[in-house]
Amino acid sequence: MQEPIYLDHAATTPLRPEALEAMLPYFSGVFGNPSSVHRFGRDAKAALEAARDALAARLGCSASELVFTSGGTESDNLALLGAALAAPEGRRKVVTTAVEHHAVLHAAEELERLGFEVVYLPVDATGRVDVDAARAAIDERAAVVSVMFGNNEVGTLQPIEAIGAMCRERGVPFHVDAVQALGHARIDLSRLPVDLMSFSAHKVGGPKGVGLLYARRRVKLHARSFGGSQERSRRPGTENVAGAVGFAAAAGLACDALEARTAELASLREAMLAVFARELAPDAFVVNGHPTERLPHVLNVSFPGASTESVLMNLDLEGIAAASGSACSSGSLRPSHVLLAMGLPEERVRSAVRFSFGEGNCLKSVTFAAEKVATIVRRLTYK
């Protein structure tokens, strides 16, 4: 049996050995609570702040603008709920998109229950948000606007600079979920018109259960949990020191090699598509998402006539891990809200598979996997 091939890096990534190495001392010798004033605490605090400084330097912001959280979900929740609940009276509208991650969509639903109006901006067939719809929705009643950097299911990049500029004009805090973008797109917060940005360590070769929320100085944010004064009271609770250290180590490596990695990931994506083009009929596969404005590591393809579940199960039997973008509930896949929002025909939605590339993938293994996909699809669609 060949080695398993992991093509699901948008779900999570393997921990980088350098990140593990950097974290180990904080699971043993350096165990202090960073809030303690004695030497043990000060050592832990120094590591935590060094990690924060390193991440701030990478992101182009000040260390005091970074809040450590438990991951992308908590960062998204804190951004939406925190900004909406801190908004002045009269601003009771939340503007987001139909293709956000559930960490944003379900936070928006909670705000709806709390009496906010929520506007879900539509997207076109490639998953791009309609900028005119955004212009119409972002007005003096908006409390917060949330638009993701790049989509986790199809990879489409959003026009965040244009939408951020509208938010600036109208004085509305702008949140961007950049969980999938970190390490795959240049992010310079000193130049972006963004007030809040979410990140997660385990998508860039860091550990699970640690994330970041960038909150621009002077942006008002209500805390969502209550306790000590850690993270300037924006996110109380003893910090995950080892997690923060591992996050900084992994993000540093991911950002350092950005251009080279992007080119490598693009070549893997092209190699997979070249195999499909060679092995399958032209109408047997169709790529979902934007052809150029997209994250380099995500490839979403529909195989009309083959169901997502069958393709994934057959691939799994061959030791190849891919994904559907959609949520799995009680063993059956719900159709993806992203593909539905893109207005794709049902057949394309029901047969979509997401391949996402990263560390450990090479041309040989991706080509091998693509050939297996083609064989499986031919078998499933044989009439």
Q: Give the residues lining the site for ligand PLP (CB under 6 A).
A: 71-73, 76, 101, 103, 148, 152, 177, 179-180, 200, 202, 211
**CA separation (Å) from 342 to 163, 224, 282, 355?**
19, 33, 22, 19
Q: Helices 308-317 & 363-380, crossing angle to 10 degrees?
A: 130
**CB 354 to ligand PLP: min, Å:** 11
CB-nearer residue toward ligand PLP: 148 or 280: 148
Please report how close the Cβ of residue 383 comes to ligand PLP at its closest, in angstroms: 36
Minimum distance, C-beta of residue 258 to ligand PLP, in the bound complex (Å): 18
The smaller minimum CB distance to ligand PLP, of residues 45 and 354, is found at 354
Residue number, 73 or 156, with CB nearest to ligand PLP: 73
For 356: left if phi > 0, alpha if psi spans -120 to 50, otherwise beta; the answer is: beta
Long-range contacts of 214-217 (CB under 8 A, 24+ apart): 214/59, 214/61, 214/65, 214/66, 214/67, 214/189, 215/65, 215/66, 215/67, 215/79, 216/61, 216/65, 216/189, 217/62, 217/64, 217/65
Report helix, strand or coil for 123: strand
- C-beta of 48 vs 212, nearer to ligand PLP: 212
**Within its chain, how far is the Cα of 126 from the centroid?**
18
Nearest residue to 147 (alpha-carbon basis) of 171, 122, 124: 122
Calpha distance 322→328 (Å, rounded):
14
For ligand PLP, the closer of residues 177 and 264 by Cβ is 177
Q: Are the C-beta atoms of 180 and 298 separated by less than 8 Å?
A: yes
CB of 74 to ligand PLP, least distance (A): 7
Q: Which is nearer to ligand PLP, 180 or 365 (CB)?
A: 180
- Residue 211 sits at φ, ψ, to 5 deg, of -145, -175
Helix (H) or strand (E) holding 144: strand 142-146
- Please name every residue paired with 94 in a beta bridge, in sequence order, or none if there are none: 118, 144
The residues annotated with a catalytic role in the active site are 328
Cβ of residue 380: shortest distance to ligand PLP, in angstroms?
Answer: 27
For residues 249 and 16, is the Cβ–Cβ distance under 8 A? yes
In angstroms, give the least distance from the CB of 104 to ligand PLP.
7
Rounded to 5 degrees, what are φ and ψ at 268?
-65, -40
Instruction: Indicate the residue among 151 and 365 with the shorter CB distance to ligand PLP.
Output: 151
Contact between 34 and 45 under an 8 Å Cβ cutoff? The reply is yes
Which residues, 6+ apart, have CB-to-CB distance to 293 below 8 Å?
126, 128, 156, 157
Query: CA quadruple 109, 114, 115, 117: dihedral positive or negative?
Result: negative
Nearest distance from C-beta of residue 204 to ligand PLP, angstroms = 11
- By beta-carbon proximity to ligand PLP, the closer residue of 155 and 252 is 155
**Least Å distance between CB 26 and ligand PLP?**
20
Written as six digits, the tokens of 253 are 């490596």
* 71 φψ region: left (φ > 0), alpha (ψ -120 to 50), beta (else): left
Cα separations (Å) of 156 from 147, 287, 292, 322? 12, 12, 8, 18
